[in-house]
Amino acid sequence: MKIWKQEFTLEGLDNMSINTLVENFDIKFVAHGDDYLVAEMPVTHKNVQPMRILHGGASVALAETVGSIASLLCLNDPMTEQAVGLDINANHLRSVPEGEKVRAKVTPIHLGRKTHVWHIEITNEANQAICVSRLTMMVRKIRM
């Protein structure tokens, strides 16, 4: 079942991220289906910890990015409503060395009138889970 209420292109999603953390971490949207969205992020000097492996906070930033954009695409009217993060958790399962790429796939758990809950699985190039995350978003009217 198609969950998206907004028309979009992957290029358009990338263009929304100019001059943001998303652009700084080189996150790119690469695929979507009726009920999922996928983004990739290279593991570079921009998002590693001193041991030259992916920083856990960068994984969380990737998870929140795909989940937040997914919520935006599920809004009835993005001119009058917005989705804002309420809670995110992440379990880090495996390290990823600098030079590789990770991929995050977001799928809905709950799409209510006031809240959206998302499951995000981040995998490495071998398609092994490196992080699983749950993101809760609140849908609210835009305050003028």
Q: What share of the chain in percent tops pLDDT 70? A: 100
Q: Is-catalytic flag, 100?
A: no
**From 7, 11, 23, 64, the catalytic residue:** 64
Q: How many CB atoms are closer than 10 A to CB 34?
A: 8
Are 61 and 25 in contact by the 8 Å Cβ rule? The answer is yes
Series of mean pLDDT values for 10-residue runs along the chain (144 residues): 96 96 97 98 98 98 98 96 97 98 98 98 98 98 86
How confident is the model at residue 143, as a pLDDT?
A: 83
CA pair distance 134, 65, nearest whole angstrom: 12
CA pair distance 64, 32, nearest whole angstrom: 16
How confident is the model at residue 84, as a pLDDT?
A: 97
Residues 86-111: tens digit of each pLDDT: 999 999 999 999 999 999 999 999 99
The residue behind tokens 């919520």 is: 71
pTM of the model: 0.96
> What domains can be seen in the chain, in order of their start residue?
10-141 (3.10.129.10)
